[in-house]
Amino acid sequence: MAGNPSTRRLREPRQALQVTISIDDSSRNEPQVYTTGSLISGRAIIRSDIDAYCEDAEILLLGLAGTRLELTRHKPTRALSPFLKMYMMTEAGDGGILELESPFPGPIAAGETISIPFRFVVPQYLLEGSCRHPCASHAVWERHSHLPPTLDGASDIEEHEFLARGRIQYYVEMRLRCYDDDVGSGAGCGMSKVVAGRQVVTILPALPELPPLPLDSVAPGSFLPSKSVVVRRNLVQRAGRLAVSSAQPPAMMLDPSGRSSPCSVVRMDLDFRPGDCSARPPPSRLVVSGTALGTTHLCAEPSELLPELSGEFGGGGGGKSPTTVQYSSTCELFPRTPLKPAWRWSQDPTDGGGGGGGGCYRAQLEMPLLLPACQRKPILPTFYSCLISQTYILEVKISLGCATSDLSLTLPLQIGVCSTDFSPSLTPATLDSRY
């Protein structure tokens, strides 16, 4: 039975004993994407050219995150976090560990091929001890306890350089402790050696919609949910003042394959106050566009805060923000679109000042957000882990005309991953106003 060509053999004493991992239903052209509750199954294949004795064997599902930050010219800063380790043991242990159908301990004859089945279920959360560093709040710790998605694989040089600095990988690995010669019981005879083989798997876990970020705890300038501008008839005359406000839109939810086109909608409230009683009505035509800014945050050590609420992003709380390198990319969510707001006059009897007669024009705009699907690789959702996080910002631009400055709003944006029938619904904790 041929092994998967992407399997890596870690240690092979004298090239005599080899271990390969074969994943069921895997395709060479398009790797299967697993999500929360998915079954990862396959076979570990052992081939030996000599007589050997295997003392024990284990098959694991491992998750590993690592960063390499070139903060100085001569000495890069490296951080490594093994966050997931699931075993299939040769004997059933406490906690419901699955039993591995293994012939070991026992001998392996020269020329013999042994195939051992394995199966893992992608968990909902990491183990409680996976995130051991201090966190500013329980909500931050809970976000670190979700499985992060695979961050690996690229085709162009720039992304290869980026992923060399930050990577999240999952793989199935088999480890054998054996002796080169058949020594019967194997105990206390000869020198034991470890032979291992592994196969990378792609995981996109279910990531629920998170509560909106507490923008009141963010330093000014990080996000801009509202803004106003003077509307001019020409370069000299003022027609009034237009205020635009919005809030964090609902999350854009991916399907578990990561290749869908997630969508959402952003709502904007418009408030136009005329400069005087004889002023003209508000602008009848606006041009609106929207762009998503995705940022990958790579930390030199585990972070105690969320990246939007720490460091240069501002943020209170007593958490520590480590040295972080960020890589950003933009994607157009909707192009420049001309709109005609449905203005309505709203009388405000409590507003006794101003020349607008104590009232204003109001309107509401709704713009659909659509993230184009990427056929080359899955879309990376919003996630927070100890070393690596991915966040998104929505920038909305409103153009009023050549005589008036444009308006720009910046809002938090989340991309989540839908649950499947096999994965339970997730309810994340809410961040308080400090974090």
The pLDDT of residue 1 is: 40
Strands (E), 90-212: 106-108, 113-121, 166-179, 193-203
Q: Nearest to residue 186, comparing CAs of 49, 12, 14, 56?
A: 56
Using the predicted structure, report yes or no on whether residue 63 has a pLDDT greater than 80.
yes
The pLDDT of residue 243 is: 92
| Mean pLDDT across 284-300 | 89
Q: Name the strand (E) or helix (H) holding 274.
A: strand 263-274
| Mean pLDDT across 329-336 | 86
pTM listed for this prediction: 0.80
Which phi and psi (to 5°) does residue 376 adopt? Answer: -75, -35
Sign of CA dihedral 54, 99, 132, 171: positive
Q: Who's near 28: CB < 8 A, 6+ residues apart?
A: 5
The pLDDT of residue 200 is: 92
Q: Could you tell me how many helices (H) and strands (E) the chain has, helices first?
A: 2, 22
The pLDDT of residue 435 is: 40
The pLDDT of residue 421 is: 58
Domains of the chain as residue ranges with CATH: 17-203 (2.60.40.640), 215-309+322-349+357-417 (2.60.40)
Average pLDDT in the chain: 77
| Mean pLDDT across 226-252 | 84
The pLDDT of residue 203 is: 93
Please tell me which residue, 348 or 133, carries the higher pLDDT value: 133
pLDDT digits 0-9 by tens, 176-208: 888 766 544 444 456 778 888 899 999 999 998
Count of residues in the chain: 435
Q: Say how far apart CA 238 and CA 215 lie, in whole Å.
A: 32
